[in-house]
Every structure is written in C-alpha cells, then in structure tokens.
Structure 1
Amino acid sequence: MTTRINAVPRAVPAEEVQVPFADCYITAAAQNAALRVLRSGWVTTGREVAAFEGEFAGYVGADHAIAVSSCTHGIELALRSYGLPRGSLVLTSTMTFCGAVQAIVHAGLQPVLVDVDAITGMPTPATVRDAVRAFGQPAAMTVVHWAGDLADVPALAEAAGLTLDQVVVDAAHAIGTYEGSTPIGSQCGATCFSFYATKNLPLGEGGMITTDNADRAGWLHQARLHGMTADAWRRYLPGGSWRYDVAEAGLKANMTDIQAAMGRAQLTHLPRWQERRAQIAARYDLQLSTLPAVALPHRPAPGTGTHAWHLYPIRLAAGIERDEVIAELAARGVGTSVHFIPVHQLTYFGQVASIPPSGMSGADALFDQLLSLPIHPRLTDGQIDAVCAALADATLRRFSRKGAE
C-alpha cells in the first residue's frame, strides 16, 4: 500500500500534535531480555556481552567487536590502543559532540580541531591540510560520519598523511551508514558506535568498538576492564582461576549483560527501524524542498553510500533567527535540537585544543543556520506533516519579512 505524501504542509493546531525530538524505544523483547538477565544471577559482563559482540560484528561486517560503556570510552580506548607518545597530535572535527574531543584529551593526546564544509558539516581534504600546515604531522585522526552522512575517510586520511589504520572512526551517528554496499565498521583501525538513548540502536547507554585487527581487539578486551587479563565472569566459572595480571593502565569501561541482552533484542529490529528513518527523511524532503528559507540535509551522492538518518539537520537561510524558529516550533508541540555547538566555541576546548589560526569559518557559518528536526522510527506520517506545517509557518513569515526589509 502506497501512502500519499502531501506536497503542501497543512497548518495543524498546537493541541493536535506533540512531537518529541527523540524517542528511546525499548521493545518488549528487550525488556524481557533484561528481566531474564536480572533473574539469572549474573548481571555484569558475561555471556550476553560475548554474544552481543559476535552478533554486532556480524551486522557491520567486522572481524571483532568489543562492547564498552559508551562511545566516548570507546574512542579513548581505541586511541590508547595505538600506543602513541603522550601529547601526540590527533586531528578531529570541530563539528562534533564535546565528548569525542574529551576522549582525545583523556587519552593523553593533543586534539587539533579541523574546520568543516558549511554544507556537509564535515572536514574536507583542504581543511585537514590547513590544520596539518598549522601544527605539523598528526599521529592519528578521528573522523565522524556526522548525522549519519558518509564522510570520505580515505580522502581525509590521505590529506592528513595517514593510513586508514591510523584513523579512529566516530560512528556514533552511523549505525546504518554504508560506504557503497559495505556497512561502516571495518574500513579503519577502529570504529566506535554509540547506543545512547537517542541513537539508532538505543539502549540508554553503551557503545561498541569494531576492528579487523586481532591484536588490537585483544588489547581492547583487557583495557576496557582495568587492564586485567581475566574478567570476573571467567574467574568465577567452574574451574576458573582467581588469578589475574594487570600489564598496563586500563579503564572501567565494560558493558553489563543487562545492556547486552537488550542490545541483542534491539538489533533484530534495526533493519526495519532504518527503513522507517529513510521513509521519514523522504517525506521531509518532499514537503520541505519548496520552502525558500530551508536547505535540506546533505546526503551521499547516488551510488556512493547510504545515509543512516540519525539526524535530519536542515539549514535555515541567512537572516532567519534560528532560536526564534525553535521557540515557535516548541510552542506548537514540536521538539527540535541543534547538532552541535562547534567544539572551538566551548570554553574548555579553547584552552586545551589546537585551533588553526585561519579560524573555523565553515563551522561558524553552519552553526548559525543549523536546526535538527525530529527523526525516529515511531514518528507517524501525521506528526511529520505537522512538523513541516509548523516549520513552513515559522520560516515563510520571517523570510517574507526579511525580503521586505
């Protein structure tokens, strides 16, 4: 059955709709899985984590997966696994979540912020080369597939003078992003995913590191739990030994069996959820493409890859006050957000990160225009239409007023 998409947004009274920006939907199967673990007598890292790791690795086509407490800890551990000298330079986009840069700092490394293209929201080879000219050859780089769009990782690595093995991919937005017909997860030295409450595979908290490097995977499995050579589950199994060693510094960054059991159940729904996200993006595209004050999100060129649609970030025309639009949408029951405040605009990172003297003009220009609309699998067509109608009202009136000035 084909659902007709209204090309012209319909005005919807505020009382008819409440549209949350995000929705942490935990399926009944995932709830039951959590209860099963709670009743089992073993709730921390154990069989469920091992099973989730295997299933997730299979889903993204990686040889190894290491479950961790968050994507942030995943990035830190992945960088630590490289064994870089303290203070080594690590390139990272300024248009990312602050935690991704905190991870570099916590790994004892020096973040070098890279400007982005004002349309894609991601670094370009030119902005990468600018950062390298300013501060010298980096030891590694983190690359974010921002909003679920496809970053050109090989081109960025080449511009930085790095191999793909020296790249840590921040795939917090990219469960469901494909490069060609290959899912993100096995192309670089390590790839880090997020299961935060708003993500495409929501557990509330949690993360996963994937890699094809067996030695790195072994190191990460130990490092995520204090660097111990044997975790509690294996020590307490019948016949297990209580002895263990700690060869180097690790973190307390393990995932629990409760989260992993939920993750295994949620993972079975992910293909259908991704289909729905693509449908929502298409419905937004059709209704918003005629609005003169709205630019649609960037997406991969045909045949190059697939957008995960973790976010649907529109850009408002210059002169349209973004925060006024946010307030008007909120008054009509529509939740929105902004992704992200560029890292170089945050006080702490102005003190600890290296920022090219040429500035961050692309990120600054983009930030003033950005507005993320609701996109999650349980949005109804009626809710999508209501968002489009509210946005049309809020922007057309301001665009007309701007033109008359």
Structure 2
Amino acid sequence: MTGSSVPFTVPSFAGEVPDAVVKVLDSGWVTTGPQTAGFEQDFADYLGAAQVVAVASCTAALELCLRAMELPPGSAVLTPSLTFCGAINAILHAGHRPVLVDIDEDTLVPSPETVAAAAARVAPAAMIVQNQGGYPVDVAALTEAAGLDRTRVIEDAAHGPGAARDGATVGSSSFAACFSFYATKNMPIGEGGAVASSDQDFADRVRAMRLHGMSKDSWKRYMPGGSWRYDVRSVGLKANMTDIQASIGRAQLSALPEWQRRRGELVARYDASLLGSPGLVVPQRDLEGIQHAWHLYQVRVQERDAMIAELEKAGVSTSVHFIPANQMTAYREILGEDECAAVPVTDRVGEELLSLPLYPGLSDELQDRVVGAFTEALRARG
C-alpha cells in the first residue's frame, strides 16, 4: 500500500501462524494428518457442530456434498443466481442441473416466495442456499418453500463464519454447511474449506470422497499399527486439506472473535457516515434475530461502474459480489434463455451492487478516506 491508496482487502494472520507452520514442517508430516484432525475438532467446537470435514476449498465442499447425497444424474438443484461461479460449477461438476432462484432485494438472498417460484418450474432434488455477504439465511423456511427434506439442502456458508440466526451459529445444526478459508474470507488460510454436518454417516461419506473415495487416508495407513491396504467404495475427488493449511487454520481460529468484533465496529462506522445518503441503498438491515458475519459491506448505487472508476482514481479499491450467473456466457449456453430470464430482481440489483473495503486491518483513517471518496462520488451524481 502506498500513499493514500486503500486496497479492497488485506488478509489478517495471527501471530502464532509462523511457529505453527514451522512445527508442521519439522514434524515430517505435511499432508492430511494430525493437524487436520485437530483443526476439524477445533472448528467443530467453534461452530457447535457435530462433525467437520476439512477440504481443499468451499467449491470442493459443495461438490462433495452433492456427490455424497447420491442424487440421480441430471437432478435439478436450486441455487441463487447471485452467487460465485464456483457454486454453479460445483452443481455441474457433480453431474446435475442448476435451477436459478431470484433474490429479495432487501436481503440479497432468496426468499420463501422466490424459492417456491423456482421449485414450481421443476421438481428439485436438492438446493444450495447462500449466506450472501455474511447474512445468515433462514434455511428452515427456504427448505419448506422448496418442498425438500433438510437432508437435501446445502448451506453455502463461504461468507458465514461469525454469523448466527436466532442464537444458532451458522453451521451448528445444518445437515451440510460449506465454509471457505480463501485469502479474502473472514478466517483466511489462503486456500481451504470445510463441511459441517449434524449427520455422522454423511460426514463420513464426504470424508472418504475428499480423497478419491479411499477408505483410509495416508496418515491412517502409515501411522504405527496401520495397514497399507485400502478400498475405494465410491468415486471421489482429490480435495483434501493439508496439515500445513490446518496448522494455519488452528492459529487463525483463535483470532477470529477479535477480527469479527473489529468488522462490526467498522460496519457501525460506515453506517453512521453513509446511511441516509441520497442515491444510496444499503441492504441487509432488517437484523432482528440476526448476527451478521459482515464478510462484505455491500451497497447499491446507480451508475455503479462509473462509481468504481471514480473511486479507483481516488485511490480506493472496491469489488462486486457477484456478477449474476445467468449473465455468464457458459451458463447461458448450458441453461438456455428462458431459465436465465427467470431472475429479474437479480438482474436489476446485480447492476447496482458495490462492495466497499472491509477487513480487520482497515484503520479508521483509511476507512475515513473511503467514506470521503465515496460520498464525493455520490454528490457528483446528486
């Protein structure tokens, strides 16, 4: 960072991370092993979840969950169109067909009404629901609207660590909740993901499938008393987490509560300066019973692309979450025009969304520069 520039995000790392990594390197075991098992237990304890399986990414987690559900090939899977492309790819790679769900413009996530409308177009076999920006969706209400059993619903909690609804931590009681530890996330490792589940049999299927479907991983085969022999009972992926990643994750987890406190503080400062500004819509503010993770600070503005250019000139980097899937060339070709036209609110809101810098290391001074540049750009459209 130079001069007055403000990056969109900077990953935070706990002070214990370097020593934790060195200990793994010195141990002689760097792939999936004791640190991964330890991280899984630590993260399960943090969430209050019965089972956690550490994997290579949230995208891999979504695909593994769909595969572990053993749906018929080509099954219809409901998904918001306002999502990261990896979530759509996971459905396709698992051999299924995405069915797009529109959003509620106040929350940026599907509502029971939009889910019911999508389910009426095609009988869904499963659904992925997403905690957009850190806003915890009402999984039970959306599950009922889709006409599905809870064992056919996957919660995309890539933005979810730190979020809760009605006192229940995201992932604490989900049949399948998928988390991300990518470099930009609330608890960054660099790469990595996890599946939290209330069902041990399902978690065990995911655990085997993350490493080709093998019945035993290398650590269990080569630890004292282990056997080289293993079986492959189902076709899986190469999607395991390493002990190097897990050691970083264990150190990061201890710092997460303070990082979440700082995110909330920064959001309050943004709100105090920006709420009520002419030409600005700030969604996700109906927060009764909601503990927002504040992965993103998303606003809606007119002439969004011009605003991004003006902010960049002022030294403020921003981002957009997300380009709707129905606007992507590959998905339009796969899904067809009729399916891609089924999410009009997503299309409209998607042209207005803008994410401002939000990360624990953002100082008050740098945040004030963001607010100054942003309000000036708003006034210019006044």
| TM-score normalised by length of structure 2 | 0.97
Counterpart residue number, 1:351: 333
Q: Deviations over 1:39-70 (max 9, x none)?
A: 21110000000000000001011100000000
**Mapped contact 1:114–1:356 kept (Cα < 8 A):** no
Match of 2:291 in 1: 306
Comparing 214-223 with 291-300, which one deviates more in the overlay?
291-300
Determine which of 51, 61, 67 is the counterpart of 1:80: 67
> Does the CA-based 8 Å contact 1:134-1:356 persist in structure 2?
no
Separation of aligned partners in 1, 2:93 and 2:293 = 29
Matches of 1:26 and 1:328, distance apart in 2: 31
- Residue 381 (structure 1) aligns with: 364
Structure showing greater Rg: 1
* 1:363 and 2:346 matched: yes
Counterpart amino acid of residue 159 in structure 1? A
Other-structure match for 1:234: 220
Shift of 1:120: 1.6
Partner of 1:110: 97
- Which digits, 9 at most, give the CA deviation of each residue in 1:196-241, with x for residues without a partner? 0000000110000000101011111111001111111111112211
Q: Distance in 2 between matches of 1:152 and 1:114?
A: 15
Following superposition, the deviation at residue 16 of structure 1 comes to 5.4
In structure 2, the residue matched to 1:3 is none
- Kept after mapping to 1: 8 A contact 2:161/2:293: yes
For the 8 Å contact 1:45–1:233, the answer to whether it is kept is yes
1:339 to 290, 315, 321: 321
Shift in Å, 1:163: 2.2
Residue aligning to 2:275: 289
Structure 1 residues 311-358: Cα deviation after superposition (integer angstroms, max 9, x where no partner): 000011xxx311111111111111100000000000111122375476
RMSD: 1.5
Which residues in structure 2 correspond to 1:53-72 (within 5 Å)? Answer: 53-72=40-59
Cα distance in 2 between the residues matched to 1:265 and 1:343: 35
Q: Is the 8 A contact 2:327 2:340 kept in 1?
A: no
Q: Could you list the structure 1 runs, at least 4 aligned residues long, displaced by more than 6 angstroms after superposition.
A: none
Q: State the Cα distance separating 1:27 from its structure 2 match.
A: 2.5
Matched pairs, number: 381
Identical positions, percent: 49
Matched, 1:206 2:206: no
Aligned-partner Cα distance in 2 for 1:280–1:86? 45
Counterpart contact for 2:55–2:241, Cα < 8 Å: yes
Match of 1:257 among 236, 239, 243: 243
Letter of the structure 1 residue corresponding to residue 332 of structure 2: G
Match of 2:380 in 1: 397
Counterparts of 2:283 and 2:104, CA distance in 1: 13
- More divergent stretch after superposition (285-294 vs 64-73): 285-294
Give the secondary-structure state (helix, strand or coil) at the position aligned to 2:237: coil
1:329 aligns with 2:329: no
Secondary structure in 1 aligned to 2:351?
A: helix
Q: Give the Å deviation of 1:124.
A: 1.4
The 3-state SS of whatever aligns with 2:59 is: helix
Could you report, residue by residue, the CA deviation over 1:158-186 in whole angstroms, capped at 9, with x for unpaired residues? Answer: 11101222210000001111011111003
User: Is 2:126–2:148's contact at 8 Å kept on the other side of the alignment?
Assistant: yes
Aligned pairs for 1:33-182 (under 5 A) are 33-135=20-122, 137-182=123-168
TM-score (norm 1): 0.91
| Residue in structure 2 matched with residue 8 of structure 1 by the alignment | none
Whichever residue aligns with residue 113 of structure 1, its letter is L
Structure 2 residues without counterparts, runs of 5 or longer? none
1:307 counterpart letter in structure 2: H
Cα deviation for residue 26 of structure 1 reads 2.2
Superposed CA deviations along residues 103-130 of structure 1, whole A, max 9, x for unmatched, are 0111111110111122321111221122
Q: CA deviation at 1:398?
A: 1.2
In 2, the alpha carbon distance for the partners of 1:152 and 1:291 equals 29
In 2 relative to 1, CA 350–358 (structure 1 residues): closer, same or farther, beyond 3 Å? closer
Output the amino acid matched with 2:19.
N
Distance 1:356 1:132 in 2: 12
Deviations 1:258-309 (A, max 9, x none): 000000000000000000000000000000013112122313432x121000
Task: Report the AA paired with residue 298 of structure 1.
Answer: Q
Structure-1 separation of matches of 2:374 and 2:2: 16
Contact 1:124 1:156 in 2 (8 A): yes
Take 2:146 and 2:91, find their aligned partners in 1: how far apart are those partners? 17
Structure 1: 5+ residue stretches without partners: 1-13, 400-405
